[in-house]
Amino acid sequence: MVAVAAVTLSSGCADAPSTPAPSDREAEVAERGASVMPFDLERTTHQFTKTDTGGVQTVIADDPQDTAQITLIQQHLTAEVDRFRRGDFTDPARIHGNEMPGLETLRAHGGQITIDYENTRDGARATYITTGTELRNALHAWFDAQVSDHGPHATR
């Protein structure tokens, strides 16, 4: 992707769209993410939507016909939700680091977050629900950190 951007910029084509190079942090997160997430970040998008009671995390294949990516998303998110329900946030820590905002609080939730999982036609969705303000704020901080770290692979 960087090489394509460099060629486009050096060709002198003023009308050609440019793709910003990922930050060092985004590149590091993408590299670590590839060892944790089986799907291709370049072919998928994470969506993090904050709600009054927690939030919704959706991972979709950019091409809704890409059944291989959809299957990998569903398998991965199913396993992650199972771990998250137990307070095991090892995978996000491996990708984003142990100092990731919200992570310490989420690890200590002790079952105070309900996490519902569902397959979607183009991926999967996890809905996080809590009545606790501290946990909701931790989820929101965790969502913000993921959007920031994943750069173009994540949206709100």
Q: What is the spatial distance between Cα 22 and Cα 45, in angstroms, rounded to a whole number?
A: 15
Higher pLDDT, 6 or 65: 65
Higher pLDDT, 92 or 61: 61
The model's pLDDT over 43-68, given as tens digits with 9 standing for 90+, comes to 999 999 999 999 999 999 999 999 99
* Cβ neighbours around 8 below 10 Å, total: 14
Q: Which of 51, 52, 40, 29 has its CA nearest to residue 123?
A: 40
Mean pLDDT, the chain, as a whole number?
A: 80
The model's pLDDT over 30-44, given as tens digits with 9 standing for 90+, comes to 555 555 566 788 899
Q: Where are the alpha helices (DSSP H) in 2-156?
A: 2-10, 24-34, 67-85, 90-96, 103-107, 133-150
- pLDDT on residue 23: 66
Q: Which of 133, 124, 15 has its CA nearest to residue 80?
A: 124
Rounded to two decimals, what is the model's pTM? Answer: 0.77
Residue matched to tokens 């946990």: 135
Question: Cβ(53)–Cβ(129) under 8 Å?
Answer: yes
* Percent of the chain's residues with pLDDT above 90: 55
